[in-house]
Amino acid sequence: MIHAVYDVTHCTRISEVSPTQIMTAMRETCRLLGNTARSELVETFQPHGVTCVLVLAESHIVVTTWPEYELAHVDIFTCRAGSDPDGAVQPILTLLDGTVASTGRIPRLSLPIPAAA
C-alpha cells in the first residue's frame, strides 16, 4: 500500500482553477496510477476553497485548496504497491502551478494483516 501526501504552496493561479479542472486532473492521476475511479465528490466552501474526492476501487485521491493562502494539499492512497505516485500526481501539480513544499509517505499495514502474537 502507498499513502503519499503533498503540500503545495505559492499556487498563485489557484483561485482561477475550477473544481471541474481539479477533478479532471485527479482522473488523469488515477489513470496513471493504473487505478479505477468509482465515485466523485466535490465540496465547495464559501467564500472560497474546495475539497475534491475521487474514490478509487483501490482507495482514494483527495485535493483540498485554500486559495486565500495559495495552498493545496494532495492525498493519494492506493493498494497498488507498484504504483508511482510521484509521477502520477504531476497532472494535479501542473494544474495547481505551485511549489511542492513537502511530501511524505505514511506507513500503512499491507494486507493480509499479520496475526497477533
Which H, E and C letters describe 73-97, residue by residue?
Answer: EEEEEECCCCCCHHHHCHHHHHHHC
Burial, 115: exposed, middle or buried (Cβ in 10 Å; 0-12, 13-18, 19+)?
Answer: exposed
The domain locations on the chain are: 2-105
CATH class name, domain 2-105? alpha beta
Q: Are 78 and 58 in contact (CB under 8 A)?
A: yes
pTM: 0.91
- The C-alpha cell that represents 87 in the structure block: 509521477
Judge contact between 10 and 98, C-beta under 8 A.
Answer: yes
Instruction: Report the pLDDT value the prediction gives residue 113, as an integer from 0 to 100.
Output: 67
| pLDDT tens track for 55-110 | 999 999 999 999 999 999 999 999 887 889 999 999 999 999 999 999 998 877 77
